[in-house]
Amino acid sequence: MPEVYTNTTPGVVVEHYKGTKMKILHRGRETTNGSEVITYVHLEDGSIWTRPSHEFNELVVWPDGVQRRRFVIDVSKRPVELEGTNGEKGKSAT
């Protein structure tokens, strides 16, 4: 069975509605309330960002006028294999 990737799967490249590309690094928890957060790297300048996971799936109006999720998977990029904490390729710590 093929793996299913979402826009918050570590290693996936996503496009932000403003047109920039990001690579998902990790999913984690916010320390004060335990809500899920996503850590990602901006592929143009290398800056690292964290955003609440619910914002990843918020619907926003893209520049073409179509309402989509804030981040969508860049289908031109295949997910990058990450080395997880258990040493297995393709697995990541979540």
| Domains held by the chain: number | 1
Under DSSP, is residue 68 helix (H, G, I), strand (E, B) or coil? strand
- Kindly state whether residue 34 falls inside one of the protein's structural domains: yes
Mean pLDDT, the chain, integer: 81
Containing structural domain, residue 36: 13-73
Share above pLDDT 70 across residues of the chain, in percent, rounded to a whole number: 76
Under DSSP, is residue 53 helix (H, G, I), strand (E, B) or coil? helix
- pLDDT reported for residue 22: 94
- pLDDT reported for residue 3: 57
The pLDDT tens digits of the residues spanning 24-58 come to: 999 999 999 999 999 999 999 999 999 999 898 89
Tokens describing residue 24: 């998902």
- Kindly state whether residue 93 falls inside one of the protein's structural domains: no
Q: What's the CA gap between 57 and 71, in Å, rounded? A: 7
The CATH number given to whatever domain includes residue 47 is 2.30.30.320
Q: What's the CA gap between 77 and 4, in Å, rounded? A: 15
- pLDDT reported for residue 77: 66
pTM for the full model? 0.73
- Kindly state whether residue 29 falls inside one of the protein's structural domains: yes
Cβ atoms < 10 Å from Cβ of 90: 12
